[in-house]
Amino acid sequence: MNTAANTQPGLFAARNLTMLVDFYELTMANGFLENGLGNVTACFDLFFRKVPDQGGYAIMAGLEQAIDYLKNLRFTESDIQYLREKGIFSEAFLQYLADFEFSCDVWAIPEGTPIFPHEPLVTVRGPAMQAQFVETMLLLTVNHQSLIATKANRIVRAADGRPVMEFGSRRAQGSDGALYGARAAYIAGAAGTACAICDREFGVPALGTMAHSWVQMFPTELDAFRAYAKVYPDACTLLVDTYHVLKSGVPNAITVFKELKAAGHTPQGIRIDSGDIAYLSKKSRMMLDEAGLPEVKIVASNSLDEYIIRDLLVQGAQIDSFGVGERLVTSRSEPVFGGVYKLAAAGTAEHPDTLIPKIKISENAAKITNPGFKAPWRLFDGETGMAIADVIALADEVIDDTQPYTIFDPEFTYKRKTLTNFRAVRLQVPVFEKGRCVYESPSIAEMRSYCMEQLGTIWDEVMRFENPHAYYVDLSEPLWKLKREMLDKYFSE
């Protein structure tokens, strides 16, 4: 990686977040140890059940922060003392924590990959105490950033090629929400962020213009514009709605831009942050063009989202780029991603390393889990390169794309399709082997490019905002049979 994050400790490393767990992770780990199950191998899947905003796809993000957390798991003396004072943890368990070394295997889908419900995004296999313990932080990092990346990409797509800048730090849920939200937005296609620390830590381009307070600090709006242009003659974007966009803001901006051009500089743009943006942008464009300033861009901000942006463009708004804040960084329309972390297989005290498939049964069919140690695959059409479907297979299965392969909808097994000209790609990559990190995260720019490339393999029908086509995530036939057998056994008892 070529980002600043590689030249200094990551933020998770700087803060010991080992104890950022749900308390029951600790009580269960202690209970596993007391019952002889502490070092029994367990396999957990992290997945989600529903795409936010009734969308057709989501974007994977947050893996790098999950890796930072797992690399730096350690219990301090104060952590041990805090737990001892609770009076419910055994001394053997507290000593285990004092000597703690992460030793699990982890696989994950890379950041920037389009993802779909029910497929394992992260798989953790290792001692039950450890694999259970990391649940909270894995969910926290993947849930949050995947949510924001998904929302950001919807907004980027609505902008139809126009740059989208992430402007949401001041409305984010806390400092981490601002920092990691900006990171996720960039991976998903945003052009940059107003969050300066995200530039320093991750190399996300920091962008910005001015606030209304700048204009108000000077005797007149024209004085304010001239002062800004003097300091930043080659990066001059002026906020024109402090008083009146068309009566003073744009005319004063035109005056300053002409002065800049006369001095050999290139004016950049104006920003409109209030009012009827469609109308104001069209009028502003006319005024700028008539003044001989067709190169000056128009930036729009003010509580935008994908639907407002789409409507503005339908109305013929003359906008060259968008600044999107609170509705992006908080995913205001649906602020929960809903990822879960479920046991898929486990050994026994007698045979700790022999994985036995596990299934969670629920009266809610959507909450019945897929059993066993698994891996997701993506099948691409050999002619078009477009994604056909994802297949969740047992981990020891290999989908051989040199041979015909039959996929079917698990809910309607009569709906089968046999593929002949296709390419099969295993989605997860190894991240940790017995506690040792074997994965080098790409640079943030590489993640962003990869995301755009992968989205290009998803049909537009899957990515539309209203009533998207359902992208199929199928079970391999061996997995489907295993699940069916386990369900039949449960309901026959």
**How many angstroms separate the Cα of 11 from the Cα of each of 77, 107, 202?**
21, 22, 11
- Tell me what pLDDT residue 4 has: 42
Q: Is 30 contained in some domain?
A: no
For the chain, the straight-line distance linking the first and the last C-alpha, in angstroms and rounded, comes to 54
Q: What is the mean pLDDT of each run of 10 residues along the chain (493 residues)?
A: 45 76 97 96 98 98 97 96 98 97 98 98 98 98 98 98 97 96 98 97 94 98 98 97 98 98 98 98 98 98 97 98 98 97 97 97 91 98 97 97 85 73 98 98 97 98 96 94 94 79
Q: Is 87 contained in some domain?
A: no
Structure tokens that stand for 269 in this block: 């743009």
Q: Is 177 contained in some domain?
A: no
Residue 382 belongs to what domain range? 372-427+459-493
- Tell me what pLDDT residue 1 has: 39
- Tell me what pLDDT residue 2 has: 42
Q: Is 139 contained in some domain?
A: no
Q: Is 414 contained in some domain?
A: yes
Question: Residues for the chain: how many in total?
Answer: 493
Q: Is 390 contained in some domain?
A: yes
**Full-model pTM:** 0.95
Rounded Cα distance between 255 and 261, Å, is 10
Residue keyed to tokens 């980027």: 156
State phi, psi for 98 to the nearest 5 degrees: -65, -35
Q: Is 336 contained in some domain?
A: no
CB 146 within 8 A of CB 58: yes
pLDDT in tens, 339-361: 999 999 999 999 999 999 999 99
Rounded Cα distance between 244 and 274, Å, is 10
The secondary element (H helix, E strand) that includes residue 126 is strand 122-127
CB 359 within 8 A of CB 487: yes
Secondary structure of residue 389 in the 3-state scheme: strand
Pairing of strands 122-127, 41-48: antiparallel
pLDDT in tens, 184-234: 999 999 999 999 999 999 999 999 889 999 999 999 999 999 999 999 999
- Tell me what pLDDT residue 491 has: 85
- Tell me what pLDDT residue 14 has: 66
Residue keyed to tokens 């798991």: 73
Number of domains in the chain: 1
Q: Is 138 contained in some domain?
A: no
- Tell me what pLDDT residue 407 has: 86
CB 187 within 8 A of CB 447: yes
Query: Up-side HSE of residue 143: CA atoms within 13 Å toward CB?
Result: 18
